[in-house]
């Protein structure tokens, strides 16, 4: 069951879109919604502090405090209008670490995908996934998205990380109209993923009342992430569920990998767990 949800709240359109989805999920699962905003410490080089009569750090601190006030007003007004259970939290420190800390005491945490053309995001979704030990729903930086996940694609490779993600997602999967478990380029391996890959998982989810089907993607010329991104687009899926960082994060950062590619190019919400 999902009984409490943490959403990272920021002022602006992206923050509002994220909050829209969080409110819809809280209502659907009768969950308590926790709005969280983090103010990070301002650290500037000494030469910048000495170069102006009005230190830049003070201006940045004022801007951060003002953004926190805006975020709180946005959250509190929305939950009042929507009539759902909720509370506001303001934290100070490293943003990803503070979000991960709150995530440890909740069933689901919602954060945004950084916009590569926007300002540097203070919350890194992969840090939250790795440090929290809890499922994290990452919302694309693109515009408004469907507020219900009617068609969910589950990426399955038999790994520990995928197992964790799928089972964390069960409360959402049971509410979907259609769930498809897919294995990309199935082959025998240490996780026993072979030609009938995904069948046992399909039976397991069906026993939970999930409307599930099992399939595979055979595209040896494509990387796993590219095959999944194509399937999401071709089939009109609303959400992807997948494990995060089956290989080391350092390796994926340097030479690439499925998690890194999905985080960079996602177009629908992605639920990840590690």
User: Domain range holding 196?
Assistant: 151-265
Same domain, 124 and 155: no
Of 48-57, 83-92, 138-147, 255-264, the least confident:
48-57
Instruction: Give me the long-range contacts of 126-130 (CB less than 8 A, separation at least 24).
Output: 126/244, 126/245, 126/249, 126/259, 126/263, 127/96, 127/97, 127/100, 128/96, 128/99, 128/100, 128/103, 129/244, 129/245, 129/272, 129/273, 129/274, 130/244, 130/245, 130/249, 130/274
Query: Residues 210, 126: one domain?
Result: no
Is residue 172, in this structure, part of any structural domain at all? yes
| Residue at a domain's end among 86, 108, 139 | 139
How is residue 196 written in tokens? 């009938």
CA dihedral angle for residue 59, residue 60, residue 65, residue 67, rounded to 10 degrees: 110
Please tell me whether residues 93 and 21 are part of one structural domain: yes
- Give pTM, 2 decimals: 0.90
Residue 184 lies in a domain: yes
In a domain, 274, yes or no: no
Residues 90 and 115 in one domain: yes
Shared domain check, 256 and 187: yes
**Interval 190-205: pLDDT, tens:** 555 555 668 999 999 9
Q: Are residues 158 and 125 in the same domain?
A: no
The answer to whether the beta carbons of residues 71 and 12 sit under 8 Å apart is: no
pLDDT digits (tens, 9 = 90+) for 69-81: 999 999 999 999 9
CATH code, domain carrying 235: 3.40.50.620
């Amino acid at each position: 069951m999902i009984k409490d949800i943490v959403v990272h709240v920021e002022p602006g359109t992206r923050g509002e879109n994220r909050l829209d989805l969080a409110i819809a999920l809280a209502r659907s699962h009768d969950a308590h919604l926790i709005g969280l905003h983090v103010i990070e410490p301002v650290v500037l080089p000494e030469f910048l502090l000495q170069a102006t009569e009005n230190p830049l750090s003070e201006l940045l601190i004022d801007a951060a405090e003002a953004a926190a006030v805006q975020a709180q007003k946005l959250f509190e007004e929305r939950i009042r209008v929507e009539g759902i259970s909720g509370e506001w939290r303001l934290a100070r420190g490293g943003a990803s670490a503070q979000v991960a800390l709150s995530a440890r005491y909740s069933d689901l945490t919602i954060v945004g995908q950084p916009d590569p053309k926007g300002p540097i995001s203070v919350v890194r979704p992969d840090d939250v996934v790795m440090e929290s030990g809890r499922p994290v729903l990452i919302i694309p930086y693109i515009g408004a998205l469907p507020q219900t996940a009617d068609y969910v694609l589950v990426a399955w490779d038999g790994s520990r990380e995928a197992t964790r993600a799928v089972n964390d997602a069960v409360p959402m999967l049971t509410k979907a109209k259609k769930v498809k478990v897919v294995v990309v380029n199935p082959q025998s391996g240490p996780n026993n993923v072979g030609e009938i890959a995904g069948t046992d998982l399909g039976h397991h989810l069906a026993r939970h009342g999930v409307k599930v089907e099992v399939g595979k993607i055979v595209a040896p010329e494509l990387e796993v992430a590219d095959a999944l991104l194509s399937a999401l687009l071709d089939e009109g899926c609303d959400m992807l569920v997948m494990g995060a960082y089956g290989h080391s994060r350092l390796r994926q950062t340097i030479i690439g990998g499925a998690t890194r590619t999905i985080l960079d190019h996602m177009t629908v919400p992605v639920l990840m767990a590690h």
